[in-house]
Every structure is written in structure tokens, then in C-alpha cells.
Amino acid sequence: MSLSDSLLLADEPAPAQWVNAGGRAPFLLLGDHAGNAIPRALGTLGLSGQDRERHIAWDIGVHALGIALAGALDAPFLFQPYSRLVIDCNRDPAHPEAAPAISDGSAIPGNRRLQARDLAARIAAIHAPYHAEIAAEIARRGAAARPTILLALHSFTPALGGRARPWHAGVLYDRGDTRFAEALLAGLRAQADLVVGDNEPYRMDATDFSVPHHAYPAGLPYAEIEVRQDGLEMPAAVERWCEALRRACTAALPSVIA
């Protein structure tokens, strides 16, 4: 029995799931933290129901936004449905935050004194197959001479550590081909009703995994998009963000594709 077989049961969600897999746009949408499921073998990780619904467990609103944007752009959306507290798919699996023992003031009992074999089982069951599917899709598109722009979708809590965050959204980027990210930032800022951060509320750095791991080595244009979670609470708000991002992505496309 493999490590992955020992964690996920046959009827539990696959760790890499597609929406609009046949989408023809150059965009490949990613949802690293799109769900808050916990494998039954891990119980609740010792968390209350309230903590399992908080931002510490997932990127609230990203699943709905990804589905809407996949339709609006005719782009595939690849997401993983398990909580970032089980294994964070936007962290190197060796990073201390890959399975944190505490997050924004909440203890994660199921991650306290986590044994190496138990962490390896989570990586094998969720982290590795999710990233393998991203890599395989990039390879498939490359073999078909299809361009790829990687768009990682995330959301952030309106306040952290007692400090309010004024941005409605942020565009994150660092190394590699940043042309699309910079054009996307300009396109969102051109929409007068939006306050959009440049590498806010986080700066893309060595803490991030998905974009650096997949976009940098392949020379892919990319952007990591952060939307404040109170802007994704209702279906109508998700649709407004979908339209704002559709317009900005479409306007930024000529920055990388003639």
C-alpha cells in the first residue's frame, strides 16, 4: 500500500480537479487553496467548525471565482479541494508552513508534533499529484504549441493581526516573465472603483511555490491574483470580480501574445 493510498479513501475527492478542462484560452487558472476538505483519516485536525471555515483553512471564494472566470475566459481551472492546513499546495513541502501547527492565532492540534511519515503521506496523497497535474497540463499545451499564461487565484482576509487591509485586490509577481502581471496590474488599476496593490497584501517571494515551481523554469508569463474575501461573499460580488478580471486579463493579453 502506498502512502497516498493510506490517507485518501476511494470515495474521497481527487486532489486535482478540473473545471472546463477543454477551455481554449491561453490562461491556465489554478486554485491552490480552493477547498477546505479534510481526509476522513485525519478527523478534523482537532479544529472547531468555525476554524475549518476561516481563512486559515482555505481561500474563501476562490472556488466560485475560478468557476466563473473559467467560463468567462473559456479557460481551464485546475484546483485542489483539501484544506491548506492538511498540506499547503502553495508551499514547498519541506517548508515549515506546509502543515503549520498554528495559524493566525489558532492552534492546529492535528499538526502538532507531526511525524515525518504522516507529513509524507499528505504530500504523496495531495501535494504531489496536484502539482504533477499542473506540470502535465503545461507539457501537453507545450507539445501542442499552445501558449500558456499561468493565473494563480487566491483570496485574503480583510484584516490580519488587528490591521485592516485597504486593497480590494493585489497582483503578485517576482522573477521570470513579469510582463503579463504588470499589464494585469495596470488594467485593474484603470478600473476606477478598485484599489489594487502591487505585491500587496503579500510580496511574492521564496514562500510561494506554485508560480515559481511551474512558471519560472518554463519561462511562462504569469500572475498571482489576490482578492479580498469580503468581495467574494455573495454570488453577485463574485460575478463583478469575474467581469473585472475578465476585462483586465483580456486587455493584458497583448503584452505577451501578439
Per-residue model confidence (pLDDT) at position 236: 96
pLDDT of 6 higher than 80 = no
Write out the H or E segment, with its range, that includes residue 144. none
Distance of CA 211 to the CA centre of its chain: 10
d(CA 81, CA 37): 6
Q: How far is CA 118 from CA 5, 44, 51, 159, in A?
A: 12, 15, 22, 32
Cβ-based neighbours of 157, under 8 Å, separated by 6 or more: 55, 104, 165, 228, 229
Kindly report the average pLDDT of the chain as a whole number: 95
> How many whole angstroms separate alpha carbon 111 and alpha carbon 200?
28
Look-up of cell digits 501537453: 140
Amino acid at 209: F
Cell numbers placing 159:
484584516
For residue 4, pLDDT over 70 is answered with no
The fraction of the chain above a pLDDT of 70, given in percent, is 98
195 pLDDT above the threshold of 70: yes
pLDDT of 192 strictly over 90: no
Here the CATH number for the domain that contains residue 68 is 3.40.630.40
Mean pLDDT of the 52-65 span: 96
Domain of residue 224 covers 3-255
pLDDT above 90 coverage of the chain, percent: 91
Q: Evaluate whether 223 touches 144 at the Cβ level (below 8 Å).
A: no
Mean pLDDT calculated for residue range 200-220 = 94
Distance (Å, rounded) from C-alpha 202 to C-alpha 160?
A: 12
Domain count for the chain? 1
181 contacts 27 by C-beta, under 8 angstroms = no
With cut-offs at 50, 70 and 90, classify the pLDDT of residue 161: confident
> What are the cell numbers at 5?
493510498
Q: Which residue has the higher pLDDT, 133 or 162?
A: 133
Would you tell me the crossing angle of helices 62-73 and 235-252 to the nearest 10 degrees? Answer: 50
Q: Whole-angstrom Cα distance, residue 237 to residue 143?
A: 38
Note the pLDDT tens digit of each residue in 9-57: 999 999 999 999 999 999 999 999 999 999 999 999 999 999 999 999 9
pLDDT value of position 1: 41
For 81-125, the pLDDT digits (tens) are 999 999 999 999 999 899 999 998 899 999 999 999 999 999 999
Pairing of strands 106-107, 149-156: unpaired
Block residue for cell numbers 504569469: 222
